Amino acid sequence: MLNIVIFGPPGAGKGTQSQLLIDQFNLIHLSTGDILRGEIAQGTELGIKAKSIMDRGDLVPDEVVIGMIRSILEKNPNAKGFIFDGFPRTTVQAESLDQMLNELNTSISTMLSLDVDVDELTKRLLERGKSSGRADDANESIIRNRIKEYNKKTAPLKKFYAKQNKLQSITGVGSVDSIYTKICEAIDQIK
Ligand code: AMP
């Protein structure tokens, strides 16, 4: 199986690159942000609880997102692989993911970390906010909070995967295609 963690701060291009990867490698895309927004759109209890947290740019509780991932993994026993986009975001989530994959006799193949500086991220998110309709893209102080949460709770996961020799850092600036080429080269390294 090819199990990829696509990693990076909000606005790094994880979703865009994930789309290209799932088409080429036939992977199942697991974006916790997309799943949560789906819950909000459907007005579920989970969605109602998550909305105010997401609108502030904070992280939803670990057990909520871990439960969502567990249920999708269980429903796809014959998958060729998964691409984890926006998950894990904390050490607890990363440890749970290792454990869940271990139970399925598989593991993370690589973490592809997209590096983009703060000014560029803010610019991209504000631009995306004009059309995404996302409250958390529309306001600069919320964007700053999301980046702060990332630096505090999520960025340390690079060390977590580096210890397992799985971290590959990629510059996330340039054309979509040029970044995707670097991603494919990184995947070739592990094959
Ligand atoms: P994203 O679409 O990945 O930018 O996620 C949007 C928002 O959803 C985040 O700012 C969090 O509030 C929430 N979220 C998404 N994934 C996670 C996760 N793995 N852990 C906690 N909160 C998450």
**Structural domain containing residue 159:** 2-172
Written as one string, the DSSP assignment of 26-69 is: -PEEEEHHHHHHHHHHHT-HHHHHHHHHHHHTPPPPHHHHHHHH
89 catalytically annotated: yes
Rounded percentage of the chain residues whose pLDDT exceeds 90: 95
Does residue 188 fall inside a structural domain?
no
CATH number at residue 125: 3.40.50.300
Determine the average pLDDT of the residues in 34-54. Answer: 95
Query: Residues 180, 184, 186, 187: what is their CA dihedral angle, to the nearest 10 degrees?
Result: 140
Q: Binning pLDDT at 50, 70 and 90, where does residue 133 land?
A: confident
Question: Is 178 part of a structural domain of the chain?
Answer: no
- Do the domain assignments include residue 49? yes
In a domain, 118, yes or no: yes
Give the number of domains in the chain. 1
Does residue 42 form part of some domain?
yes
Residue 12: inside a domain = yes
* Protein residue with least CA distance to atom 8, ligand 1: 33
Q: Is 189 within a domain?
A: no
The single residue of 70, 134, 153, 158 carrying the catalytic annotation is 134
Q: Which of 16, 31, 36 gets mutated to test ligand 1 (max ligand atoms within 8 A of its CB)?
A: 36
Q: How far is CA 184 from CA 13, 25, 47, 108, in A?
A: 15, 10, 35, 16
Report yes or no on 7 lying in a domain. Answer: yes
Task: Tell the residue number behind the tokens 């210890």, with chain if given.
Answer: 163
Can you tell me the distance from the alpha carbon of 21 to that of 158, in angstroms, rounded to the nearest whole number?
Answer: 21
pTM of the complete model: 0.96
Nearest CA to ligand 1 atom 1: 33
